[in-house]
Amino acid sequence: MNPSLSVIRVLLIEDEAGDAYFAKNALTKKHIINFEIIWVQSLALAKDALIETCFDIVLLDLSLPDSQGLETVKMARQILGDIPIIVLTGCCDTEFALTTLKAGANDYMVKGDFGFDGLTRVIRHVLLRSEMEVHNLLLVAALNAAANAIVITDRDAHVKWSNPAFSQLTGYSLEEAMGKNISELVKSGLQEHSFYENMWQHLLAGKQWRGEVINKRKDGSLYHEELNIAPVKNHSGEIISFIGIKEDISERKYLEEILLTLANTDPLTGLFNRRVFLERLEQEAERVSRLGESVALLMLDLDFFKRINDTYGHAMGDEVLKQFSQIMKAHSRNIDVPARLGGEEFAILLLSTNKEAALMVAERLREQVAEIVIPHDKGDVRMTVSIGGALLSSGDNTGEIVLNQADSAMYKAKESGRNRTCWFDSSDE
């Protein structure tokens, strides 16, 4: 279903009444979208519900009377077909949560940690990704079924014939192309010389070559092309011609970039999303364990964000989140990983950074946030942020442990009066 429509049908598979209540409550707040929620307590009952109703998305608990753990995801995927699945997990176990995605889930959330509008945003994000994936598959199928450009050249790549689709793709008519070397017509110069050397080695050896290339039209515009070239031999086995089949894949490339962006970023702020952040965190934890480099983790939470939403409205709340994210980006290097984990909770993974440098970054960021003033009819809007930090070391720390340590330090900053930075101290545990 298109996530822009006004009603989304949700199948909630959860055997705990309390958890089901919190999930339903998160979706029945005032939203642009209306949710129609059917709650069942087992996979068997989910099968019955699917007979009666077509659902847009499924919220799935992993501990059910008739299934446990990853088997729940696998069985649900068989029952649900292509309906997107969001796993509701009871704890923030990064490795296990990522495993659920490999088992067939589309995303996951920690129970009780939905944040304001968090579950709704994840549902809309998953539906949008699913819609784009379907659209991309249809687009690729349509391109494969369409009449592709075909050109025939002699052994020296001079054009002997081309079809109308070639003219439409490149802008050159058959009369203009005849006798010209194909490289003179479409070569963009963006490929390395070694690229063409490799291609000609295959072709002159009598082998078919297939690859992707950026070519140039008659008007000078560039396009991505999937190119298949087959050598044509005479009865003596000598190569006399080449047949090239050319397909414009520019739109497919563009859609792949869009899909990659949707899969990796938070749609409101443009920061990395929770899934990408947790993956990178585990990767860095493993790398630190092997190489012993210093990596710092900052957890950031906007102070009294709910009060801003309640007083000034959600549009202003979104503006606060976007301005805060811009400050985070400004204080992050290309190698760092700034992310929105959900709601008003953010994190930055600072690579090759020790405690002292991380604290300097945190303080500069905190001070700049406190200086922001956003005008509003009800009065100027100001914001502050509480920051907690921890260090990934070459010891026994895992990504999850360091995440919890930074989170603990961040809550210490809030308890100490907010608008401050605290570093994790093991003596506080």
Of 76, 105, 120, the residue at which a domain comes to its end is: 120
**pLDDT reported for residue 162:** 86
Q: Quote the tokens at residue 311.
A: 């007083």
Cα distance between the two ends of the chain? 47
Q: With 70 as the cut, is the pLDDT of residue 294 above it?
A: yes
Q: With 70 as the cut, is the pLDDT of residue 70 above it?
A: yes
The CATH number of whichever domain residue 245 belongs to comes to 3.30.450.20
Domain shared by 279 and 243, yes or no: no
Domain shared by 17 and 90, yes or no: yes
**pLDDT reported for residue 165:** 87
Domain shared by 153 and 245, yes or no: yes
Domain shared by 110 and 157, yes or no: no
Mean pLDDT calculated for residue range 400-428: 89
Q: With 80 as the cut, is the pLDDT of residue 96 above it?
A: no
Domain shared by 190 and 244, yes or no: yes
Mean pLDDT calculated for residue range 387-406: 84
Q: Quote the tokens at residue 328.
A: 């985070």
Say if 258 falls within a structural domain.
no
Taking phi over 0 as left and psi of -120 to 50 as alpha, with beta for the rest, 292 belongs to left
Domain shared by 107 and 167, yes or no: no
Mean pLDDT calculated for residue range 324-347: 92
**pLDDT reported for residue 262:** 79
Domain shared by 165 and 232, yes or no: yes
Q: How confident is the model at residue 143 (pLDDT cuts 50, 70, 90)?
A: very low
Q: With 90 as the cut, is the pLDDT of residue 102 above it?
A: no
Percent of the chain with pLDDT over 90: 54
Domain shared by 170 and 75, yes or no: no
User: How many domains does one find in the chain?
Assistant: 3
List pLDDT tens digits, range 359-384: 999 999 999 999 989 998 888 899 99
Angle at 380 between CA 377 and CA 385, to 5 degrees: 135
List pLDDT tens digits, range 260-285: 777 888 989 989 999 999 989 988 88
Domain shared by 289 and 185, yes or no: no
Q: With 80 as the cut, is the pLDDT of residue 255 above it?
A: yes
b (16+ CB within 10 A) / e for 236-251: eeeeebbbbbbbbbee
Q: Cα 159 vs. chain centroid, distance in angstroms?
A: 43
**pLDDT reported for residue 4:** 52
Structural domain harbouring 184: 146-253
The Cα 82–Cα 263 span in angstroms is 17
**pLDDT reported for residue 1:** 47
Domain shared by 275 and 399, yes or no: yes
The CATH number of whichever domain residue 368 belongs to comes to 3.30.70.270
**pLDDT reported for residue 5:** 54
- Tokens 């301005």 locate to 323
Domain shared by 341 and 200, yes or no: no
Mean pLDDT of the chain: 87
Residue with the bigger pLDDT between 311 and 97: it is 311
Say if 350 falls within a structural domain.
yes
The CATH number of whichever domain residue 12 belongs to comes to 3.40.50.2300
Q: With 90 as the cut, is the pLDDT of residue 120 above it?
A: no
Say if 153 falls within a structural domain.
yes
**pLDDT reported for residue 393:** 77
